Amino acid sequence: MTQVTEAIAYAHQERGRFVSELKDLLAIPSISTLSAHKPDMQRAAEWLAANMRGMGLEHVEILPTAGHPVVVADWLHAAGRPTMLIYGHYDVQPVDPLNEWHTEPFTPTERGDNLYARGASDMKGQVMAFLKAIEALLQTGGLPLNVEIMIEGEEEIGSPNLEPFMRQQAAKLKCDFSLNADSGIISPTLPSIAYGLRGLAYFELWVHGPDHDLHSGVFGGSVHNPAQALAELIAGMHDGNGRVTLPGFYDKVRTLGVEERGELARSPITDAAWQAMTGAPQLYGEAGYTTVERTGARPTLEINGLLSGFTGEGSKTVLPAKAMAKISMRLIPDQDDKEVEAQLRAYLAAKAPPTIRWELKSLTSGPAVIVSRDTPAMQAAIKALEATFGVKPVMRLEGGSVPVVSMVQKGLGVDSILMGFGLPDDNLHAPNEKLHLPNYYKGIDAYIRYFDEVARLS
Amino acid sequence: MTQVTEAIAYAHQERGRFVSELKDLLAIPSISTLSAHKPDMQRAAEWLAANMRGMGLEHVEILPTAGHPVVVADWLHAAGRPTMLIYGHYDVQPVDPLNEWHTEPFTPTERGDNLYARGASDMKGQVMAFLKAIEALLQTGGLPLNVEIMIEGEEEIGSPNLEPFMRQQAAKLKCDFSLNADSGIISPTLPSIAYGLRGLAYFELWVHGPDHDLHSGVFGGSVHNPAQALAELIAGMHDGNGRVTLPGFYDKVRTLGVEERGELARSPITDAAWQAMTGAPQLYGEAGYTTVERTGARPTLEINGLLSGFTGEGSKTVLPAKAMAKISMRLIPDQDDKEVEAQLRAYLAAKAPPTIRWELKSLTSGPAVIVSRDTPAMQAAIKALEATFGVKPVMRLEGGSVPVVSMVQKGLGVDSILMGFGLPDDNLHAPNEKLHLPNYYKGIDAYIRYFDEVARLS
């Protein structure tokens, strides 16, 4: 019996405890964007540190940043073998609208094959999967390579303190390559590896009209309603072909080659399945591209929130003084987040009428990333997934943004393999987030195999 | 000394108490649209009933409706004289955004000549002004005519139960004409009488896209964002000339005649003064009309509220499942509120793309009203205002809606004189609502004179 077989047998034996530990972590409401949850952030970090110490990881520490702390650990006894940095985050998204959850977001609840809780898939489930893979190897003879672990608490707010942290801890974090577990696969029966991630530029746009709320009967018709003006500005941001109209927005977007379009077309997700997953009446998007291309290989502009005037029960005849939209763009190489901000400002300067005043705040941003598809680390990942799922993984471009991948590339000079086991219907950032438990179990097996493969191939 | 002189002297003597009683009424948060304030509605009705009993009004009763109760009273000892129905309402608008109030909305606070509180101008101040005028006359020999008083608690939610109430109480409410005190004048030195009121049609429009909130990175670009779709629908509701685009919207709008445009042009309010009052960067409106015409003689469509997705602190990368707008139209004779709803539905049916689903709820509505300018009651009002302010009142069209005026016209068969003492900068329906106290005092004097004049002219 090889150590891999032994470690996988251990992991299968301990599944019950692995789920119960995950539930303990999920019960901590570690919402990084809400200051009221600061104590919960600390609790989550301490829970992780204790769990990691318990399984035999070393130098476990909770290191402060200007924001939420980073939990680090290592195991460096594989002399002559490469060192891998494993990245995760313990923070989660807010839970509103709370009334749309079927069970409490921080009371992890199993229904069928799924475990429902905020953070179950994004990404406490993925963090526990790689930790439990490490535990299985440590308990059956040790790891086949050296590992550094870095679990931050600010991914959901754009990792504002991670770059300075990595600079400061550069000596400790020195590694040969990195694993980023904040990712997913296409379906429970079809593994995939994301080799590209869209960048993000997130803004808050305010439109100001009157300097105070007015009576819509007395003043209606005589001033430009800020909610109307905001709607007019938003409506102009896409043309009739679903293309973003910001000046220069597509100038630096990498053109999709024939080979890459072919590879992406291998995705088995049909438009009908995608539509069913969203529940939308029809699909929509940029003319001339498939859904897979629209969500992975093309930049987008989405409205994430709208707020103006009276939104309570009943009718209040107010002409609001101001209106707000949260607006974010997903970016494709080689778009630059600062240039995109300048494009948005240029659009607003050109289109906003003199009857209102606008104000734009940049909230978070990060560039897009493409990871090379032919490194030994990538080949090891492909092997590990194929061995676990019995089918060769599909290579794909992920629509979401993981700013830390480019931070690691810039700060530590290494590429990340994006390997995680979330599913497209896991309701990330939405009510009723869940983790598919069979994926949790297979994820642990796949990480065990990956650690073994990558140690041998590197 | 005539009784009028005597009553005015009494009113001047009692000003301190009249303000202090008004403050007691203003301290009751009688917000009709919020069900949590139901007990406050009852308290406000009881406070008024007690005050009216104390001043010598008779048959004071709090009569139930399907919603909030109506306070009624009378004094019918002027044998051979006409009977006037006086209308008021004791409910007020909600107070949000609360953080923009300089003092608590239900802690009435004097600053300079103004008394700040929700409802100070709309319309507890106007209600107390006519009640205190009645008190002054009752305390100095009696009223020169018969009065019925009807003070409802549902004006701010569209008076949904007033028509059945008036039908049921028709015998009791029989009158020769009516006074509606829910109105205002142009400035503290320039009285005016509104002879027309815009109608109202208020809606909630929902746009539904995906059946749950989605991750904007994973799904962005592949479905029609409901906040974007809502913005596109709203943006299309006005054309480049500030005209409303709903099909047939202007078909029944009465054309302004040369004489009427001349009368309206007598308004001393300049565009610069109007703009200063709003604090807007510039004025805006339907091309081809003056500000006075835009706010009184032309129909409008305003957005009263917007809500979608994440609106809290920071950035949440959600693609919202739905988006909501509160939309209201102000109507001009002979627009019909039901026809306008059909026009909005026709617009949505034609413009809404198949990528989303829409849903329209009608919240409140009422037609526009024009009151004849040459009745004895109107002439008496003109005389009373001229005697009190020393200048002939300007005749004007009011932008706001008082659905009860048309209900009284339909239900009791009488015209209303619109005579109240609010000011355009009283912040009705907005933070920091206030009453100009000199207007409160002059209002009491003017009502005393009006009751005297109208008894003699009719």
Listed residue (A143, A128, A118) closest to A14, CA to CA? A128
Grouped pLDDT means (10 residues each) for chain B, 458 residues: 94 98 98 95 98 97 97 96 97 94 97 97 98 98 97 93 95 94 92 89 97 93 97 98 98 91 85 94 96 93 98 92 97 91 98 98 87 88 96 84 84 92 93 97 98 87
Give the Cα separation of B304 and B313 in Å (integer).
22
Contact between chains at A213 and B430 (C-beta distance less than 8 A):
yes
Contact between chains at B278 and A34 (C-beta distance less than 8 A):
no
Contact between chains at B235 and A237 (C-beta distance less than 8 A):
no
Give the Cα separation of A150 and A84 in Å (integer).
11
Decide: A210 and A322 in contact? Cβ < 8 Å.
no
Contacts with B211 from chain A: Cβ below 8 Å:
278-280
- What is the reported pLDDT for A324? 98
- What is the reported pLDDT for B114? 98
Residues 6+ apart with CB under 8 A from A276: none
- What is the reported pLDDT for B435? 98
> In a 3-state reduction of DSSP, which class is residue A75?
strand
Task: Say yes or no to pLDDT of A400 above 80.
Answer: no
Contact between chains at A300 and B399 (C-beta distance less than 8 A):
no
Contacts with B267 from chain A: Cβ below 8 Å:
none
- Which residue of A lies nearest to B283 if distances are taken between CA atoms? A223
Q: What is the mean pLDDT of chain A?
A: 94
Contacts with B365 from chain A: Cβ below 8 Å:
none
CATH architecture of structural domain A199-256+296-365: 2-Layer Sandwich (3.30)
Contact between chains at A93 and B316 (C-beta distance less than 8 A):
yes
CATH architecture of structural domain B201-253+301-365: 2-Layer Sandwich (3.30)
Pick the CATH number of B3-197+368-457 from 3.40.630.10, 3.40.50.300, 3.40.930.10, 3.30.230.10: 3.40.630.10
Cα distance from B145 to chain A (closest Cα, Å)? 33
Task: Say yes or no to pLDDT of A267 above 90.
Answer: no
Give the Cα separation of B304 and A320 in Å (integer).
6
Nearest to A304 among B303, B317, B324 (CB): B317
Contact between chains at A302 and B319 (C-beta distance less than 8 A):
yes
DSSP A183-214: -B-SBTTB-EEEEEE-EEEEEEEEEE-SSS-E
Using a 10 angstrom Cβ sphere, with 0-12 exposed, 13-18 middle and 19 or more buried, the burial of residue A290 is: middle
Task: Say yes or no to pLDDT of A403 above 80.
Answer: no
Give the Cα separation of B317 and A93 in Å (integer).
9
* C-alpha dist (Å) from residue A422 to A390, A398, B89, B238, B303: 18, 12, 58, 45, 40
Q: How many beta-carbon contacts under 8 Å exist across A and B?
A: 373
Contact between chains at A315 and B202 (C-beta distance less than 8 A):
yes
Contacts with A217 from chain B: Cβ below 8 Å:
198, 200, 330, 398-401
> In a 3-state reduction of DSSP, which class is residue B303?
strand
Q: Note the pLDDT tens digit of each residue in B413-425.
A: 998 999 999 998 9
Task: Say yes or no to pLDDT of A211 above 80.
Answer: yes
Give the Cα separation of B368 and B127 in Å (integer).
23
Listed residue (A321, A293, A298, A301) closest to A309, CA to CA? A321
Task: Say yes or no to pLDDT of A233 above 80.
Answer: yes
- Which residue of A lies nearest to B211 if distances are taken between CA atoms? A279
- Tokens 């994973």 sit at which residue? B218
- Which residue of B lies nearest to A299 if distances are taken between CA atoms? B221
- What is the reported pLDDT for B371? 82
Contact between chains at A399 and B158 (C-beta distance less than 8 A):
no
Domain boundaries defined on chain B:
3-197+368-457, 201-253+301-365
Contacts with B402 from chain A: Cβ below 8 Å:
none
- Which residue of B lies nearest to A244 if distances are taken between CA atoms? B221
Decide: B308 and A325 in contact? Cβ < 8 Å.
no
Dihedral of CA A382/A383/A384/A389: which sign?
positive
Cα distance from B80 to chain A (closest Cα, Å)? 40
Phi and psi angles of residue B401, each rounded to the nearest 5 degrees, phi first: -120, 135
- Tokens 């680090």 sit at which residue? A72
Phi and psi angles of residue B408, each rounded to the nearest 5 degrees, phi first: -65, -40
Nearest 10 degrees: Cα torsion B3, B4, B9, B11: 110
* C-alpha dist (Å) from residue A406 to A16, A82, A365, B123, B315: 36, 21, 12, 60, 20
Residues 6+ apart with CB under 8 A from A420: A123, A126, A129, A180, A181, A182, A183, A184, A185, A443
Amino acid in position A88: G
